[in-house]
Amino acid sequence: MSVSSATTEVVDPVPGAAAPHLPEQPDLVQLLTPEGERVEHPDYAIDVSAEELRDLYRDLVLVRRWDVEATALQRQGELGIWASLLGQEAAQIGAGRALQDGDVAFPTYREHGVAWTRGVDPLHVISLFRGVDNGGWDPVATAFNLYTVVIGAQCLHATGYAMGLQRDGAESATLAFLGDGATSQGEVNEAMIWAASFSAPVVFFCQNNQYAISVPLERQTRVPLYQRAAGFGFPGVRVDGNDVLAVLAVTRAALAAAREGQGPTFVEAFTYRMGAHTTSDDPTRYRLASELEEWKLRDPIARVKAYLSRSGVADAAFFDSVEAEADELAKRIRTGTVEMPDPPGTAMFDQVYAEQTPTLAAQQAEFEAYQASFEGSEHR
Amino acid sequence: MTETLTIGKALNLGLRRAMEDDAKVVLMGEDIGRLGGVFRITDGLQKDFGEDRVVDTPLAEAGILGTAVGLAMRGYRPVCEIQFDGFVFPAYNQIVTQVAKIHARSRGKLPMPIVIRIPFGGGIGAVEHHSESPEAYFAHTPGLKVVAVSNPVDAYWGIQQAVAHPDPIVFLEPKRRYWEKAEVDTGATPGPLFASRVVRGGDDVTVLAYGPMVKTALQAAEAAAEEGRSVEVVDLRTISPLDLDPVFDSVRRTGRCVVVHEAPVTLGLGAEIAARVTETCFHSLEAPVLRVGGYDTPYPPSKLEEEYLPDLDRVLDAVDRAMEF
């Protein structure tokens, strides 16, 4: 299997390759091996049509291309920063595609793949990292909350929203995203206590990408993260986060249980951040290149491509069309970013309150008068 | 209909009316259900409105505020009780980074109609963390509004107005005055929430106070009158936004201004008010704006709180200094 585009950085899996630094994981739910072989799991059957499989592949390739383009735009000075999802595409697409109408997602700041599944325009995510706004999408219309930068704070919001769903008698659930580092936060633990006590319809979806910026998982926990759930009194499951089918199956099951009134589930998607924490980070200072090479063998996209090819579900023309679509998307993102206007100065005063205070109105008037004093001057 | 109510009972009745008026109002807090709250402010409400609307939460303040955010996103109007002022800090992150910012972050798509009720201030002989005045932290945070009530009438109407308001409000209750009584006309039309009010007229000095210190300021004005000094007292009522136009009008007449609060003086509300009064009333001032407040120490053990807290004599001392300047 070869991959046509270097920019998407899809790495061919090596059949039978060992993963020397990964301990054996009997509890890991997997439906598609790194080599692209379909396997069954007794608890998580999944029936996906050929079309769904192709759509998942397309999602994975497009969000990776978006991500690669955004990283390039940051390097060229068009974005202030970018938080790359490289390597976590399957975890995010699988989780996002498990959501149904009525469900609401509560992301961190890296869930670009989930945003994609909710129909959020990539430029509305880009605008945050360009410094134009705090996210340009409508969190109500997309059922995708705005990015939350304070680590773990959104887990409580997802739990509270789920308590609202309960009160409304809605058969929906919330999906709270968090990382391995966030599991150390008090608020995340409080969210799990609340969720358990009120049996709230929330699924905690933890992407364990092995590092909290530079600090490895061993500093956050002495037990596998999914086992923490038992202490809170609800199920925890570890899924191969690089296997989009397994993530989809596990998250679907967890959301279905929540909607049916069975309360929360903790899903640990075992994955790897193949890029830097953000464009400001230098991962060579804290992890070995060999580790990255090992994880490249578990690439989330290559295994789907291998499976699609081998099973005859997709042909070369399909892969070419997805590449062409990715090229178009990258072009649209690039053009849209470069042409994105700065917001007007008064935007910072807008919507601080539903009812603006006289104090702030006075400051806004002062600001506008000050700006107007430069009319016709070069000092603008 | 006029009733004699304590501040505590006025809050209880006001909350009851707010819950009757809007089925989306949900009370959340520690011990507020079966017990009715440690100060009994929510007494009887769980019995009448049920456990889904008067929620005894797990013991974690960040959890109370964080889940309130989610409920607000779903269209509910959470009213959170923080048991004591000193226990608000575990929730500080949620209040400052989320509650205060989500309306702006979402460009108005996600309103945050959350009321955070906090019994505040000292004078009850309590142990550490039960007597603090954290208002300046919240007044310094854009996106929040902060009010402090001083009497049963404002307690009754203010809590209802705060619950109905679309922005998040830190609602400060003067815990040592919970048992103060007054006549409350529950059929009246209330005045605006975010407005200060002259509560005693005078000509020589303007004394500003809010919450528990309003009573102290009025006592000082009474004592000053016996010495032939005419002190005007303004109940600020709203701390953020400040409503200073009535203060400016007053200071332009008296030429002297004293600000009183329990919170430590340095960077307290008095500092902001002194700056604004000076900016606006500079040519009317006969003396610098003086501040009377707590010292810049941790709130002391209760055997020392009488020395720490501003009282009638310390307010009179400041009035004298303003007059003698």
What is the per-residue pLDDT across A304-360, written as a single tens digit (0 to 9) for each? 999 999 999 999 999 999 999 999 999 999 999 999 999 999 999 999 999 999 999
Question: Is B173 in contact with B180 (CB distance < 8 Å)?
Answer: no
Q: Indicate the number of domains in chain B.
A: 2
Nearest to B65 by CA among B97, B22, B21, B110: B97
CA angle A274, A277, A279 (to 5 degrees): 100
| Closest CA–CA distance from residue A108 to any residue of chain B (Å) | 13
Chain A contacts of B66, Cβ < 8 Å? 153, 155-157, 159-160, 187, 190-191
Q: A17: pLDDT confidence band, cut at 50, 70 and 90?
A: very low
Q: Which two tokens stand for residue A163?
A: 């308590």
Q: What pLDDT is attached to residue A20?
A: 36
Q: Mark whether B133 and B100 lie in a shared domain.
A: yes
| Closest CA–CA distance from residue B278 to any residue of chain A (Å) | 16
Q: What pLDDT is attached to residue B87?
A: 98
Q: How far is CA A152 from CA A107, A180, A224, B120, B292, in A?
A: 10, 10, 19, 29, 41
- φ/ψ (deg, to 5) at A159: -70, -45
Nearest to B264 by CA among B169, B135, B173: B135
CB contact (8 A) between residue B167 and residue A353: yes
Q: What is the mean pLDDT of each run of 10 residues along chain B (325 residues)?
A: 96 98 98 98 98 98 98 98 98 98 98 98 97 98 98 98 98 98 96 98 98 98 97 98 98 98 98 98 98 98 98 98 96
| Closest CA–CA distance from residue B166 to any residue of chain A (Å) | 6
**For chain B, how long is the longest CA-to-CA vector?**
59
Q: Which two tokens stand for residue B274?
A: 């002194």
Q: What pLDDT is attached to residue A32?
A: 97
CB contact (8 A) between residue A186 and residue B62: yes
Option in B62, B107, B143 nearest A156 (CB): B62
CB atoms within 10 A of CB A262: 14
Question: Is A113 in contact with A251 (CB distance < 8 Å)?
Answer: no
Q: Mark whether B149 and B206 lie in a shared domain.
A: no
CB contact (8 A) between residue A360 and residue B241: yes
CA-nearest residue to B108 within chain A is A351
Q: What pLDDT is attached to residue A379?
A: 62
- Domain assignment of residue B192, yes or no: no
- φ/ψ (deg, to 5) at B83: -60, -45
Which residues touch A145 (CB under 8 Å, ≥6 apart)? A104, A105, A106, A107, A139, A154, A157, A158, B73
Q: What pLDDT is attached to residue A276?
A: 92
d(CA B82, CA A236): 32
d(CA B155, CA B171): 10
CA-nearest residue to A202 within chain B is B70
B143 and chain A in contact, CB less than 8 A = yes
Q: What pLDDT is attached to residue A22?
A: 53
CATH number, domain at B202?
A: 3.40.50.920
Q: Mark whether B174 and B211 lie in a shared domain.
A: no
Interface test with A, best of B25, B30, B67 (most A CBs within 10 A): B67
Q: Mark whether B146 and B204 lie in a shared domain.
A: no
Chain A contacts of B98, Cβ < 8 Å? 148, 150, 153, 157
Q: Given the cut 0.85, state whether the ipTM is greater than it.
A: yes
Strands of the B290-294 sheet, one edge to the other = B197-200, B231-235, B205-209, B257-264, B290-294
Q: What pLDDT is attached to residue A376?
A: 85
The three-state secondary structure class of B208 is strand
Option in B65, B98, B103 nearest A354 (CB): B103
Q: Mark whether B224 and B161 lie in a shared domain.
A: no
Which residues touch A49 (CB under 8 Å, ≥6 apart)? none
Option in A139, A157, A351 nearest B69 (CB): A157
The helix or strand, by DSSP H or E, that contains position A61, with its residue range, turns out to be helix A50-75
DSSP state of B288: -
Question: Is A175 in contact with A262 (CB distance < 8 Å)?
Answer: no
- Domain assignment of residue B190, yes or no: no
Task: Kindly indicate whether the domain formed by A50-343 is annotated with CATH number 3.30.300.30.
Answer: no
CB contact (8 A) between residue B63 and residue A155: no
What is the per-residue pLDDT across A122-171, written as a single tens digit (0 to 9) for each? 999 999 999 999 999 999 999 999 999 999 999 999 999 999 999 999 99
The helix or strand, by DSSP H or E, that contains position A336, with its residue range, turns out to be helix A316-338
Q: Is the peptide bond before A224 cis (omega within 30 degrees of 0)?
A: no
Nearest to A187 by CA among A106, A129, A261: A106
What is the per-residue pLDDT across A207-231, written as a single tens digit (0 to 9) for each? 999 999 999 999 999 999 999 999 9
| Closest CA–CA distance from residue A147 to any residue of chain B (Å) | 9
pLDDT(A4) > 60: no
CATH number, domain at B141?
A: 3.40.50.970
Q: A23: pLDDT confidence band, cut at 50, 70 and 90?
A: low
Last residue of a domain, one of B148, B165, B185: B185
Last residue of a domain, one of B131, B155, B185: B185
- Domain assignment of residue B262, yes or no: yes
- Domain assignment of residue B136, yes or no: yes
Q: Mark whether B20 and B158 lie in a shared domain.
A: yes
CB contact (8 A) between residue B67 and residue A148: no
CA angle B113, B119, B125 (to 5 degrees): 170
B266 and chain A in contact, CB less than 8 A = no
Q: A27: pLDDT confidence band, cut at 50, 70 and 90?
A: confident
Q: Mark whether B176 and B201 lie in a shared domain.
A: no
Question: Is B318 in contact with B292 (CB distance < 8 Å)?
Answer: yes
CB contact (8 A) between residue A191 and residue B66: yes
Q: Where are the domains of chain A?
A: 50-343, 345-380
Q: What pLDDT is attached to residue A151?
A: 97
B94 and chain A in contact, CB less than 8 A = yes
pLDDT(A2) > 50: no
Q: Mark whether B205 and B306 lie in a shared domain.
A: yes
CB contact (8 A) between residue B142 and residue A352: yes
Where does A76-208 have alpha helices with state H? 89-96, 112-117, 122-130, 153-168, 186-197
Q: What pLDDT is attached to residue A7?
A: 44
What is the per-residue pLDDT across A272-289, written as a single tens digit (0 to 9) for each? 999 999 999 999 999 999
CB contact (8 A) between residue B108 and residue A350: yes
Q: Mark whether B260 and B316 lie in a shared domain.
A: yes
Which residues touch B52 (CB under 8 Å, ≥6 apart)? A167, B26
Q: What pLDDT is attached to residue A375?
A: 87
Q: Mark whether B141 and B264 lie in a shared domain.
A: no
Option in B63, B70, B111 nearest A158 (CB): B70
| Closest CA–CA distance from residue B10 to any residue of chain A (Å) | 26
Question: Is A339 in contact with A132 (CB distance < 8 Å)?
Answer: no
| Closest CA–CA distance from residue B228 to any residue of chain A (Å) | 37
Q: Mark whether B71 and B147 lie in a shared domain.
A: yes
Q: Could you tell me the residue range of the domain that residue B95 belongs to?
A: 2-185
Q: Mark whether B180 and B37 lie in a shared domain.
A: yes
CB contact (8 A) between residue A150 and residue B93: yes
CA-nearest residue to A347 within chain B is B107
Q: What pLDDT is attached to residue A380?
A: 54
**Beta-carbon pairs below 8 A across chains A and B:** 132
Q: What pLDDT is attached to residue B196?
A: 98
Q: What pLDDT is attached to residue A267?
A: 98
Catalytic residue set of A: 273, 277, 286
Q: What pLDDT is attached to residue A377?
A: 81
CB contact (8 A) between residue A352 and residue B71: no
Chain B contacts of A138, Cβ < 8 Å? 109
Chain B contacts of A140, Cβ < 8 Å? 109-110
- Domain assignment of residue B69, yes or no: yes
Which residues touch B42 (CB under 8 Å, ≥6 apart)? B12, B15, B27, B29, B32, B33, B36, B54, B81
| Closest CA–CA distance from residue B310 to any residue of chain A (Å) | 28
CB contact (8 A) between residue A164 and residue B70: yes
